[in-house]
Structure 1
Amino acid sequence: MTATVITVAQQKGGAGKTTLAAHLAVAFTRVGKKVAVVDIDPQQSLTMWYRLREQQLGDAGAGLLVNQVKGWRTRNEVDKLAASHDVVLIDSPPHAETEARVAVRAADLVVIPVQPSPMDVWATRPTLEMAAGEKVPVLLVLNRVPPRANLTDEMLAEMKAFGAQVAKSRVGNRVVFAAALAEGRAVNEVQPSSKAAKEIAALAKEILKAARV
C-alpha cells in the first residue's frame, strides 16, 4: 500500500485550515480509506482534538491515526505512514516558510482553504507560488463562506484568475464544525444528515478525485 499524500496549506492564519483537515480526515475514513494525519502545526490543535477523540471513543474510530511531529521530520514520517495507509493528510503550519515547504514538497495534492474576502484571496498567492515552485498541483477551496457572501462570486473569479483549480464544493461558516471538534468528533458523526456534513462529504469526494485516490 502506498498512500496518496494531501497537504492542507495556507500561509495566512485564520482560514480554517486545521478545522477543515480534521473533518476531511474523518470523511475519508467514512468512504473506506485508511487515513493518517501528520500534524506539523506548532499549535498542535489537531493533535489535541485527536487525543480528546481517543478519550471519547476509546480507539479514535476505525482507520484514523494522528501523529504530531516536527516539521523537519515530515518526509520520514510520511514515508513511514504511506506504507500502511491509503491517505496521508498533512496539516501544515501558517507563517512557517521552511516547514510549509517541506509539507508541500511531500504532497501529491495541496488543498488551500480560502475565505471569500479580498485580503484572504490575495494572501493565498505565496502558497500558490510555493506549490508551483515544488511542481505540486493545488485545489483552492472556498471555506467559511457566510450565508450571504456577496463577495463570493467576485472572489471566485479572482481565484480562477490565479490559474489554479478551484473546488466546486464550498464549505459554509457554521458553528457545528467547531462544536463537533469540541467533542472530539466530526460533523458527519454528530449531524450526519446536516448541510454541513453534506458539504464536507462532497468536498472529500472531490479532493479524492483530484488526487486520484
Structure 2
Amino acid sequence: MSQPRVIVVGNEKGGAGKSTIALHLAVALMYGGARVAVLDLDLRQQSMGHFFGNRRAWLAANGADAPLPLEFPLSAELSVAPEAEAMDAFRAAFEAAQAQADFVVIDTPGGDTAISRAAHGLADLIVTPMNDSFVDFDMLGGVDPVTLDLKRPGLYSVTVWDSRKARAAHDGRSIDWVVLRNRLAPTEARNRRRLDERVKALSRRVGFRVGPGLRDRVIYRELFPFGLTIADLSPAIRPVAVSLQHVAARQELRALIAALGLGEVTGQTLLAAE
C-alpha cells in the first residue's frame, strides 16, 4: 500500500471552524471511496469523536447507510498526562492509522500542544481556517497598529514554518499549506478588503495558498447532532428539510475540495442530486 496522505486541520486560534472543516473533508473523501482514518487531538472537547459517535447512533437508529471512518481515539485523560505519555499515545495511534488508511485527517486543538506540533510535522497538507477578522489574522501575522502594514509572521505561521523545515530535513518532502477564508460575512465590507490585502501579503512572505472556506450557515450546526454533513444529504438521508441554502452549502464544499486539490479523490460524489 502506498503511503497515506496526511491532512492536518490546524490553527492555534479557537473558534475558527477547524472541526467543521475536518469533518466535511473526512466525509467527502469517504464518499469518494477512500479509506479515511481520523484522529482528534482536541483531547478535552473531542468534537470529531462526538460527531462520529453521533453518526453511528443516528445511522443505526434510522436503518440508514453512510460511510464511517477508521477511528483511533485518544483518551481525554491525556490532556493532563505527562507530555511523554501523550506523545507515545499519539505516535501509536498515528502509526495504526497510517497502516490502514489512504488518508489520515487530523483535527487539532485551538492552542499549542506537543502532539499538535508533532502532527503538523507529519502533514502533507495543512488546512488553516480563519474567520473574517483581524483577531484571527493575529495568529498568522502581526500588523502595524497605525498603518495596518504587515510587520511579522504570527505565532502559528512560525509553527508551520518550523514544521516545514523539520519535514524537509527529515525526508526531503514539502508540506502544502492552505489558509481558508472561513465564515465570511454575506456583505462586502471595508474590513474585509483590508484583511484580504494583508492575507495576500503574508501568503507571499510565508508561502501559503488562499482558498475558500465555508460560510456561517445554520445547516452545518444543524446536522452535527446527527453526525451528518452536507455531503450526506440524499433522498435516503434527510434529517432536515432541504432548501436552496443547502444547495449553496454543497457548492461551497465542492469549491473547498477543489481548492485543496482533492477533487480527483472525491470525483462526482458532491454532484449528486439534492
Residue 211 of structure 2, aligned match among 156, 159, 168: 168
* Whole-angstrom CA distance in 2 between matches of 1:134 and 1:93: 17
Q: Which amino acid aligns with 1:195?
A: A
Sort the Cα spacing of 1:181 and 1:55 in 2 relative to 1 into closer, same or farther, 3 A: same
The CA deviation at 1:78 is 2.0
Structure 1: gaps spanning 5 or more residues: none
For the aligned residue pairs, the C-alpha RMSD in angstroms reads: 2.4
CA distance in 2, matches of 1:209, 1:100: 23
Indicate the structure (1 or 2) with the bigger Cα radius of gyration. 2
Deviation at 1:41, TM superposition (A): 0.4
> Structure 1 residues 157 and 74 mapped into 2: Cα distance closer, same or farther (>3 Å)?
farther
| Corresponding residue for residue 102 of structure 1 | 118
1:198 to 2:241 alignment: no
Deviation at 1:196, TM superposition (A): 0.9
Give the letter aligned to residue 146 of structure 1. Answer: A
| Residue 239 of structure 2: aligned partner | none
Aligned to 1:127: 156
Q: Answer with 155-164 or 81-90: which moved more.
A: 155-164
Q: 1:13 to 1:126 in 2, by over 3 A?
A: same
Instruction: Give SS of 2:95's match.
Output: helix
Match of 1:67 among 54, 66, 72: 72
Match for residue 180 of structure 1? Answer: 223
State the AA in 2 paired with 1:78. F
8 Å CA contact 2:31, 2:67 repeated in 1: no
Residues 63 and 208 (structure 1 numbering): CA distance in 2 closer, same or farther, change over 3 Å? farther
Alpha-carbon deviation of 1:180? 1.2
Whichever residue aligns with residue 73 of structure 2, its letter is Q
TM-score normalised over the length of structure 1: 0.89
Q: Where do 1:1-213 residues align within 5 Å?
A: 1=1, 2-42=3-43, 43-58=45-60, 61-62=66-67, 64-69=69-74, 70=78, 71-72=86-87, 73-124=89-140, 125-135=154-164, 136-150=175-189, 151-163=191-203, 164-190=207-233, 194-209=247-262
Instruction: Give the whole-Å Cα distance in 2 for the aligned partners of 1:111 and 1:60.
Output: 29
What is the number of equivalent residue pairs in this alignment?
212
The answer on whether the counterparts of 2:179 and 2:211 sit within 8 Å (CA) in structure 1 is no
In the alignment, the residues of structure 1 paired with residue 160 and residue 252 of structure 2 have an alpha-carbon distance, to the nearest angstrom, of 25
TM-score, normalised via structure 2 length: 0.70
C-alpha distance in structure 1 between counterparts of 2:46 and 2:209, whole Å: 28
Between the aligned partners of 1:14 and 1:63, the Cα distance in structure 2 is 25
Q: Which moved more, 1:106-115 or 1:184-193?
A: 184-193
The CA deviation at 1:107 is: 0.9
CA displacement at 1:63 relative to structure 2: 5.1
Contact 2:139 2:157 in 1 (8 A): no
Q: Is the 8 A contact 1:10 1:17 kept in 2?
A: yes
3-state SS in 2 of match to 1:89: strand
SS of residue matched to 1:168: strand
Distance 2:256 2:21 in 1: 10
